[in-house]
Structures are given as C-alpha cells and as structure tokens.
C-alpha cells in the first residue's frame, strides 16, 4: 500500500480487490440506479480474475474516497506500437468532499506507473468535462480519427447515456 500526504490529508492508495466490485461500480455510475449497475458489478470479477482489470482505491481514515481502473485491452499491434495490449483508463472518481486536493492525480500516477511497468505504450480513455484538465495535464490528447456506432440489440438495457454524444 502506498501512503502519501496530499494537502494535509493522509491518503493510502491500495490495489482494488474482488470484494471492491460494489464500490468500483458506484464510482463508475455515481448516484445512478438501474440494472446497468448490477450488470457491471457482476462483470467485474470476470476481468479481475484474469488480470484484465487493474484497479486502485484511495483511502483516508479507512474510508474509500476515490478510485481509478485500468482495463487491459487486446487491441492489436500497430506500426508505432508493437505491444498488442492497450490500457483504457476507467472509473476515475473522487468523493466530492475530497476533490481538488490531488487525489485523482495520485490515482492516475499510480495507474500510469503500472502501465509503464507492464510495457504499455498507448492508453486511452473517455473523459467528462471535469476530468479533461487532469488528463490533459498528464499528456492525454483528443483523437481526431475515432468513430463509434451504437447498434440496437434485443439485450440492450433501457435508459439513455447521460450525455448524448457519449459512448453508452
């Protein structure tokens, strides 16, 4: 466990465990209700076990105050990146009372250090407006060439994505 002092706040960053699936799901969908939460929580162990999902939680006084995840995606090697795996940063969240004190930055630095250790050279993520300055300051750039398509299927869950131009 990494212990750090952030703006007079003692914070520990620890690896997430299987039993943290509920907390991670709430970080992904803060304040939301609906069947998509159970779907996500049930899915997490399947990627945890194979080491496909790596997660970190920030704790203060024994309470989880934030988290971040790194999903290892078998993308394919490319001209500039022979490593087939790419990292997708997901579930970056800090409890409102603890924001603006560097907690998310520390979580991201932990995730980036692990990505480097694994030899990954390309990471991507989807951002909220709140997260954009943080990711930009860490060197993330917007991609000009990505497109996505949503195909309606029978097993699609009801409910709209909160932002209309966001990948649901």
Task: State in Å, rounded, how far the first CA of the chain is from the last one.
Answer: 34
d(CA 24, CA 168): 18
4/83 with CB nearer ligand COA? 4
Locate the DSSP E strands across 16-119.
53-60, 63-74, 85-94
The least CB distance from residue 77 to ligand COA, in Å, is 27
The least CB distance from residue 25 to ligand COA, in Å, is 14
Q: Does 161 bind ligand COA (CB under 6 A)?
A: no
d(CA 20, CA 2): 18
The least CB distance from residue 167 to ligand COA, in Å, is 12
Give the Å distances, CA to CA, from 135 to 3, 90, 141, 142.
23, 12, 8, 10
The least CB distance from residue 103 to ligand COA, in Å, is 4
Please choose, out of 75-83, 97-105, 142-150, 159-167, the segment that lies near ligand COA by the rule CB under 6 A. 97-105
How many residues at the interface with ligand COA, by CB under 6 A?
17
Query: Pick from 68, 58, 76, 57: which is nearest to 11 by CA?
Result: 58
Please choose, out of 38-46, 69-77, 125-133, 157-165, the segment that lies near ligand COA by the rule CB under 6 A. 125-133
Residues that bind ligand COA (CB under 6 A): 92-94, 99-105, 127-128, 130-131, 133-134, 137
């Amino acid at each position: 466990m990494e212990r750090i002092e952030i703006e007079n706040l003692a914070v520990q960053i620890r690896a997430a465990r299987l039993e943290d699936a509920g907390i991670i799901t709430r970080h992904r969908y803060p304040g939301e209700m609906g069947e998509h939460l159970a779907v996500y929580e049930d899915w997490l162990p399947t990627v945890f076990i194979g080491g496909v999902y790596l997660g970190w939680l920030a704790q203060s006084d024994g309470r989880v105050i934030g988290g971040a995840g790194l999903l290892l995606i078998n993308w394919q090697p490319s001209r500039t990146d022979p490593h087939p795996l790419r990292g997708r940063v997901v579930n970056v969240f800090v409890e409102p009372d603890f924001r603006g004190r560097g907690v998310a930055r520390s979580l991201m630095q932990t995730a980036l250090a692990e990505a480097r250790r694994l030899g990954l050279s390309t990471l991507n993520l989807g951002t909220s407006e709140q997260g954009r300055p943080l990711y930009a300051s860490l060197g993330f750039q917007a991609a000009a060439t990505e497109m996505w398509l949503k195909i309606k299927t029978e097993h699609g869950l009801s409910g709209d994505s909160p932002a209309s131009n966001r990948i649901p």
